[in-house]
Amino acid sequence: MKRMMRRIAILTLCVAIATVACCTFALAETVKLNVAYQGGIGYAPVHVMEVNKLIEKNYDGDIEVTFQKLDSGAAINEGMIGGSIQIGCMGVGPAVSGVAAGIPYKIISNLCAQSHGLMSNDPSIQSLADIKPGDVIALVNTGSIQHILLAMTAEKVLGDAHALDSNIQKMSHAEGMAALESGTVKLHLTSSPFIYQERENPAYNELTELSQVWPSGNTFLVAMATSKIAEDEALFKAVCDAFDQAIAYINEDEEGIVAIEVDYLGLEPEQVKGYLEQPDCQFSTELKGVQDMADFMYRADFIEREVTWDELVYAR
């Protein structure tokens, strides 16, 4: 009897151990994915992915996906370096800088092309050549894609990529727009939707030289994925498919994407629709101009080393 009781106790213990092991294994198999992005209509593919749960639908397994809105590409890069963020969406300039600095990530998807413009409230300023040393240019940050685009234009027009660096004053897009209106600054280099609003103001004139170095359709925002994502074949495919489907959704379902962006941006439907219908507002999986920007950034000392296409972009 005692022997039988001992066997039952041992069997019960074995079952308990097996149950704990199975539960532990199941918990270990749950994939946790944090997707970080910034504000604006250019991040519409990320919004679609979150609302329609596209990563979850494409991944055949247990996955927990969270979406985190941050204020800057620098904050996203810090999270990706620290491991708290696995997918980071940002401007192509900061993405190139991150690759050159050795952050273990690459571009997994293009997000969009968006309009950029350099506006002035001074009618005497029609070209970069008209900008004087005391004329302040507001833009979001040094090293941002706006700064890089200004430098690319300065190289072409003035022969020196950094000729206007001392004119720059860092301001958020909204602050820059307000400063241009008040006359605190003479120029503002910004992107959508702020550039659309500024173009509607007859008191401003646009310096069109920017479009000569960065034509309509060139990549503005990209999604970066850590090397750990690329090492997991099933997860990598699920994320790639999710971005592809989100971009297809934007281009195929106008009513659906307007409804989603109204919620995210807090704007009226007609205003969102107007932004989406702008010619320069393009959502595509195709990367354009990325290597050109990387080559310029090395040439103009924004990065310390050259970076190749294979370093920048995952093969899909």
User: What are the residue boundaries of the structural domains of the chain, listed by start?
Assistant: 33-112+218-312, 116-213
CATH no. for 33-112+218-312: 3.40.190.10
pLDDT at 259 over 50: yes
Task: Return the pLDDT at 5.
Answer: 40
Q: Are the C-beta atoms of residues 90 and 70 closer than 8 Å to each other? A: no
CATH class of domain segment(s) 116-213: alpha beta
Between CA 73 and CA 89 the distance in angstroms is: 8
Task: Return the pLDDT at 27.
Answer: 46
Mean pLDDT of the chain: 90
pLDDT at 288 over 50: yes
pLDDT at 10 over 90: no
Name which of 243, 233, 250 is nearest 285 in CA terms: 243
Is it true that 33-112+218-312 and 116-213 share their CATH fold? yes
Name which of 244, 225, 237, 238 is nearest 283 in CA terms: 244
Per residue in 99-152, pLDDT (tens digit) is: 999 999 999 999 999 989 999 999 999 999 999 999 999 998 888 889 999 999
Q: Are the C-beta atoms of residues 189 and 180 closer than 8 Å to each other? A: no
Task: Return the pLDDT at 73.
Answer: 82
113: left (phi over 0), alpha (psi -120 to 50) or beta: beta
Task: Return the pLDDT at 192.
Answer: 84
Cis-peptide into 193, omega within 30 deg? yes
User: Could you tell me the sign of the dihedral formed by the alpha carbons of 164, 130, 218, 220, in that order?
Assistant: positive
pTM of the model: 0.84
Task: Return the pLDDT at 268.
Answer: 95
Confidence of residue 14 (pLDDT cuts 50, 70, 90): very low
Q: What is the 3-state secondary structure of the chain?
A: CHHHHHHHHHHHHHHHHHHHHHHHHHHHCCEEEEEEECCCHHHHHHHHHHHHCHHHHHCCCCEEEEEEECCCHHHHHHHHHHCCCCEEEEEHHHHHHHHHCCCCEEEEEEEEECCEEEEECCCCCCCHHHCCCCCCEEECCCCCHHHHHHHHHHHHHHCCCCCCHHHEEECCHHHHHHHHHHCCCCEEEEECCHHHHHHCCCCCEEECCHHHHCCCCCCCEEEEEEHHHHHCHHHHHHHHHHHHHHHHHHHHCHHHHHHHHHHHHCCCHHHHHHHHCCCCCECCCCCCCHHHHHHHHHHCCCCCCCCCHHHHECCC
Per residue in 59-84, pLDDT (tens digit) is: 999 999 999 998 788 889 999 999 99
Q: What count of other Cβ atoms lies within 10 Å of the Cβ of residue 244?
A: 16
Task: Return the pLDDT at 46.
Answer: 98
Task: Return the pLDDT at 148.
Answer: 95
Q: Are the C-beta atoms of residues 262 and 108 closer than 8 Å to each other? A: no
Between CA 112 and CA 216 the distance in angstroms is: 11
